[in-house]
Structure 1
Amino acid sequence: MDIADSEVAPQSPATDAPQLSDRYQIQSTLGAGGMGVVYLAEDLKLQRRVAIKRLKADAASDNAHQRIQQEARLLAQLNHPNIVALHDVLEDTLDNGGRSVALVMEYIEGTTLRAWMRERTPNLQQKLSLLMQICQGLQQAHDLGIIHRDLKSDNILIAENAKGEPVAKITDFGIAKSQQLDEQTLTAENQLAGTITAMSPEQILGKALDARSDLFSLGTIAYELLTGSRPFGKNDTGALAMAHRVTNDPHTPPQQAWAGIPEPLAILLDKLLAKDPSQRPQSAQIVYQGFALLHKQGLEAESEDYTATLTDLFTHHKIKSRRRWQRALAIVAAALVLSIGGYWGWKEFTRLEPQYIAVMPVEINGEIRGEQNAKALTRTMVRQALMNSVSQLKASALVSFEPKVGQDFEAQLQKLRDKGVTDALFARLECAEVRCEIEIQRLAPQDSRIKQQESFTFLTDKVQEAQYRTSNSTANLFALPYQRGDLSLATMSDGDYKRYLDVLSRMEAKELSENDLSELFTLSNRYPRNIYIYQSFTDVAARLFVLDGNTTHLESALQSIEKANKFGIPKSLTSRLKLFIYGLGDYSDQYEQLISDLETTDVPLAELLSERARYHYRAGNYESGLKYATEAAELNPSADNLHLTALNQIASGNYDEGRITLNETIKVFPEHWSSYSALGVIELENGNLETAEQAITSIPENLRGWRTKSNLGVIYFLQKKYSEALLIQQEILNSNPDSIETMEEIASSHLMLGENEMAMNQYRKILEITDDEEDFEESRYKAIALANLGELNDAIAISNRLLKKAADDTYIQYNAGQVYALAEEWSSANYYIERLLEQGMSAEWFSLPAFQRICTQPQASRNVKNAICR
């Protein structure tokens, strides 16, 4: 392995320089490396000086030629003031039959950045300006899919413009790689191309590279330029030792190398030098924006206040001086001139690390005087206060958590670790009749360490005050930058508060009814400034919707949230509540606008990625849905994110992948009932009916939502238990009378029982409530209804539109096969039936009379006849 860290050779006369072309007259040698020589030459035609990089005569391997030709191809694509320009390529054949290649490039009258750093004492503004220029040149290369792979101070040339200001030029793309070209092994001669002190950890380890590898190298340049030291020390112990430090050891903290470094700069360097590429900024443009904002602020601020002002502005430290406040405000105003893109680019660096917070079971020791269930109500109050405290924190999301009965404390922490929880909240109460001593702890599940804790005493007849104090005290256990501020007390009467806690108790016991939603609605009218009521109203409405599918619950929640906005409830809370509701129902336009707005806030990225995944899943864009769900699960491997990944896999027809994801989820989260339900769907669609029934009936009966019940009805239908299926379907329709899906299932059951007129009545009802053909789901059922009622042209037209929108959707293909069979378009019907069978759909799905009619038709393939015909 040959790992070099060469210096540029001094300029010398070219006594034996070859004559490469009649157009270029060589004047001197600028430098030489292991592969080529760089000459200073005169372009006689344009009368300008140029630099000519020529392959050495003894560097005759195909590999060396490939490298310089690669450099020529890449440079030809690049046209940027911060990249050395390529003017010409010279090629000829040598006397010995070999090839000669030379690049004619822009001549930079100056020095390398490394030499410039040794010879100059630049101020911070000049350093930031050079880094901004390097970012801009690098971004242009990355936009073209080009990764430099050897970005270092020796490959940055510094010249001066007409004003005497330093200008950075990136050079030496000799080992650059184009992501748009076919992969070529340009280092086949057992060499690791590049310079070890400039390489990213993934490059040293031989892993796949992307633009973020260059950003690590940029980080090493910026670190040395700003602090005067190298992030991993001098390369004085050998290349292998340095490689080990880069891949395994943390870099020297910037504050240690430069005690006075502004904190935002230190944050930026830390992010650029992250070992994991995913933890680095995503583009050179974002890095540029961060440097640009700091550069602008430095120019506006007096030097004595520069460091303090930046720290105050971006880390929320208090500014004691009134004069400094005025300067800070002026700087902010000036910074706005940059661009909104620059502002949000900087926010990428100063964004708080996301927190995923779970609430553990509340422990109460002793007795509480009062009603028989006083202890239970107090436990509910404390648990809700802990959960609500998360809404007082920035960059934080609440993770649902319900441990198994009898699960010990350490086992609970282990489950939280599996869920990707960063912080756990635990409360222990010691009560004696009318007094309770409460201790609140913020725990780190990773090492079971107590990060912070707080305790106080409250009287049991003052539980409302205790709830607010518990929420505020819990929020104050987190670092100041995360805190939004304390909640103000908005009390209810004792009787109303008791009713409020009763509703919460029933919600935790999963015994809700519509009366509970009405109770909260009444309370919200009486106490419109009580923040807790709106949060509880949203939770109750959502749970009722999941159980019965009635969208009026969601509409009620949105009306409640709109009222909250009018009474001064913080937008940070109401926006999250709206997003939660939009994610459950058919609110695509509102959802898209709101999530776009939230992407510019402190909402954790994994949560927004999850919402994006749900949005695309509902719209039938399963490839996008799977992409976002996978990214969310990587950031936060919670049961919900894994389950969402599986849903998109299933809908795309990737049953095997979905089954693997769900089984892994159930293994880690054995009571995540949604995963059992989804697993039942996979087994159902693959014809494993007994396994599907076992998965669904593993879910406690009182926790089966209407969709899960619907799937159980389908299982009974495919098992030819049509009467049992019809009973479940009627039960679902009774609780959700507008469910089009259930109406279609009831119609199918009637058809199999020979009750054709009753089936047609259901199809007519479907047509009455499916006026909007733009809705994906409604259009699907409308096409089936039309086909069964004989309106075949309209049914086919809708099916074709749906197929264009989601050609790989299992259900769209199934509907198309049914529609074409009813229209006696046997070839088309056969095509979709055969395709679904190949994907793994079982023959039981094709027992409907419409599908069975194809069995007597000559257009039916042998595969279809053998599979579905009785």
Structure 2
Amino acid sequence: MPPCGPVNPEAGDPTNIGDAWVPVHIHVNPGLVGQWARQCTREYRPYPGEILCKKYKIEHAVGAGHFTRAYLATDIESNTKVCIKRHGGLTVELMTDLLTISRRIESVDPECTIFSRLIEAFFDMVGYTVETLIEGRNCMEICRTNHQHFKDMANLRTVAIGCLRGLDKLCQAGVVHCDMKADNFMWTKGPDGHTVVRIVDFGCSRLDSRLENGRNWAFAEGGAGHIGKWAPEMMLRLPITDKADVWGHAVALLELYSGRNMWNEEEDTVEYMLAQALGLVNEKTGLPEKLLRRSPLDIRQLYTPSPAYFPVQRLGVAPNVRFKELRPATWGLACVLGDETKWDNTKKQLSAYVLRSMKLDPEDRPHAVDLMDEDFLNPELGEPVSA
């Protein structure tokens, strides 16, 4: 493990956000003491009609993830709608992370035009956060109910533009989202009534490694976020920057277009994900040697030797361990976009956009702002169709 040093204030806070003390309310119930008492009481809370923190009236559930449940609620003091998230296993440390990320985002999006705003946080047996409400549907839900929606390139283009705008702001804030999956892309309306896509859910977010004075959280923590959207540098435990999210959003676009997921089941390992990625980008010699040389991992145990570097699957246990090379069965984006000889100009533009976003080495991959000149984002594709 590399040594951990303190963060230089100038490096860790480029926008001069400054530190802060944030009040967090804790509900003290005199009839509840001990783990068993809390477990018996909290399982199905909050209930419709229940008032939390003396001001938020729960309306109904609106969604759920692996670690959170989201509810529509009314702030009875201001009579406004908010989104309340019930977090499973939210510690004070994790809540501090959420509040820190929120302050960074607020510094680059003060009018709350791109992201939701974390209003407050409190504990009522479990941790809750209160956010401004983004009305709409997530893109994964739309894809599942209407398989043709994202076959329309205008709709896919809207997702790409929304992601790039959000990622550009996150880059300015020094934040890496780390969970760029379609569930976290909200299809909603902007102030002018036009369809926009907004990135939500910062529960897996981390700081851009360039702000951490050499610390490498990806190596220390073993990565973060949805494994199917991991960029190669996350798999190799290299320092993570905003470019990892550029990779993730490109994978999400392919998933929305095809209706298939990169990661399908618990047995799908990092090595399987990487083999699929090598096939998509048509890299028939495997990972770049210059990228592998920068990894702190023992790559001899994880990848085939020169001249082609492909991930391997370990079979058996020492001393009888065997290795199976994981080489893609198909090459290129034809498995997603169809026969390449039949691509129209729009599919060719999408292919160029995705391949540029999925450069294997982050040093060769563009920032989000650098992708905004891509032909695929040309408005000539037309207006998006309402979901």
Aligning the two structures, in what range does the TM-score lie when normalised by the shorter sequence?
A: 0.5 to 0.7
Q: CA RMSD in A?
A: 3.6
Alpha-carbon distance in structure 1 between the residues aligned to 2:181 and 2:334: 22
Alpha-carbon distance in structure 2 between the residues aligned to 1:134 and 1:257: 20
Alpha-carbon distance in structure 1 between the residues aligned to 2:351 and 2:48: 50
* Partner residue in 1 for 2:34: none
Alpha-carbon distance in structure 2 between the residues aligned to 1:36 and 1:192: 20
* Partner residue in 2 for 1:27: 59
CA contact (8 A) 2:135 2:188 kept: yes
Alpha-carbon distance in structure 2 between the residues aligned to 1:183 and 1:43: 43
Q: Would the alpha carbon gap of residues 129 and 214 (structure 1) be closer, same or farther in structure 2, given more than 3 Å must change? A: same
Aligned-pair CA distance for 1:78 = 4.7
* Mapping for residues 254-653 of structure 1, pairs under 5 Å: 254-258=333-337, 259=339, 260-262=343-345, 263-281=348-366, 283-290=367-374, 294-299=377-382
Alpha-carbon distance in structure 1 between the residues aligned to 2:184 and 2:138: 7
CA contact (8 A) 1:90 1:103 kept: yes
Secondary structure, counterpart of 2:378 in structure 1: helix
Given the alignment of the two structures, is residue 115 of structure 1 paired with residue 147 of structure 2, yes or no? Answer: no
Alpha-carbon distance in structure 1 between the residues aligned to 2:334 and 2:66: 37
* Alignment match of 2:250 (pick from 207, 219, 237): 219
* Partner residue in 1 for 2:240: 209
* Partner residue in 2 for 1:242: 272
* Partner residue in 1 for 2:16: none
Q: How many residues align?
A: 279
Given the alignment of the two structures, is residue 48 of structure 1 paired with residue 74 of structure 2, yes or no? Answer: no
Q: Which has the higher contact order (CA 8 A, sep 6+)?
A: 2
* Alignment match of 2:129 (pick from 86, 103, 107): 103
Q: Deviations over 1:524-554 (max 9, x none)?
A: xxxxxxxxxxxxxxxxxxxxxxxxxxxxxxx
Higher strand share: 2
CA contact (8 A) 1:160 1:166 kept: yes
CA contact (8 A) 2:48 2:58 kept: no
CA contact (8 A) 1:55 1:68 kept: no
Given the alignment of the two structures, is residue 68 of structure 1 paired with residue 98 of structure 2, yes or no? Answer: yes
Q: Deviations over 1:755-794 (max 9, x none)?
A: xxxxxxxxxxxxxxxxxxxxxxxxxxxxxxxxxxxxxxxx
* Partner residue in 2 for 1:126: 155
CA contact (8 A) 1:32 1:38 kept: yes
CA contact (8 A) 1:27 1:42 kept: yes
Q: Deviations over 1:422-477 (max 9, x none)?
A: xxxxxxxxxxxxxxxxxxxxxxxxxxxxxxxxxxxxxxxxxxxxxxxxxxxxxxxx
CA contact (8 A) 1:24 1:44 kept: yes
Structure 2 unmatched ranges of 5 or more: 1-43, 282-330
Alpha-carbon distance in structure 2 between the residues aligned to 1:184 and 1:52: 33
Q: Deviations over 1:557-597 (max 9, x none)?
A: xxxxxxxxxxxxxxxxxxxxxxxxxxxxxxxxxxxxxxxxx
Alpha-carbon distance in structure 1 between the residues aligned to 2:219 and 2:57: 35
Alpha-carbon distance in structure 2 between the residues aligned to 1:209 and 1:164: 36
The letter of the residue matching 1:29 is A
The letter of the residue matching 2:103 is R
Higher helix share: 1
Aligned-pair CA distance for 1:152 = 1.0
Q: Would the alpha carbon gap of residues 186 and 35 (structure 1) be closer, same or farther in structure 2, given more than 3 Å must change? A: farther
Structure 1 unmatched ranges of 5 or more: 1-11, 301-870
Q: Deviations over 1:143-179 (max 9, x none)?
A: 1211111111111111245887532110111121223
* Partner residue in 2 for 1:755: none
Alpha-carbon distance in structure 2 between the residues aligned to 1:188 and 1:51: 34
Normalising by structure 1, we get a TM-score of 0.29
Secondary structure, counterpart of 2:52 in structure 1: coil
Q: Would the alpha carbon gap of residues 294 and 61 (structure 1) be closer, same or farther in structure 2, given more than 3 Å must change? A: closer
* Partner residue in 2 for 1:253: 332
CA contact (8 A) 2:83 2:132 kept: yes
Normalising by structure 2, we get a TM-score of 0.61
Structure showing greater Rg: 1
Aligned-pair CA distance for 1:246 = 5.3
Q: Would the alpha carbon gap of residues 268 and 51 (structure 1) be closer, same or farther in structure 2, given more than 3 Å must change? A: same
CA contact (8 A) 2:217 2:239 kept: no
Given the alignment of the two structures, is residue 141 of structure 1 paired with residue 170 of structure 2, yes or no? Answer: yes
Aligned-pair CA distance for 1:254 = 2.2
Secondary structure, counterpart of 2:372 in structure 1: helix
CA contact (8 A) 2:230 2:248 kept: yes
Aligned-pair CA distance for 1:216 = 0.4
* Mapping for residues 163-178 of structure 1, pairs under 5 Å: 165-178=194-207
Alpha-carbon distance in structure 2 between the residues aligned to 1:33 and 1:75: 22
CA contact (8 A) 1:204 1:247 kept: no
* Partner residue in 2 for 1:77: 107
Alpha-carbon distance in structure 1 between the residues aligned to 2:183 and 2:95: 23
CA contact (8 A) 1:53 1:103 kept: yes
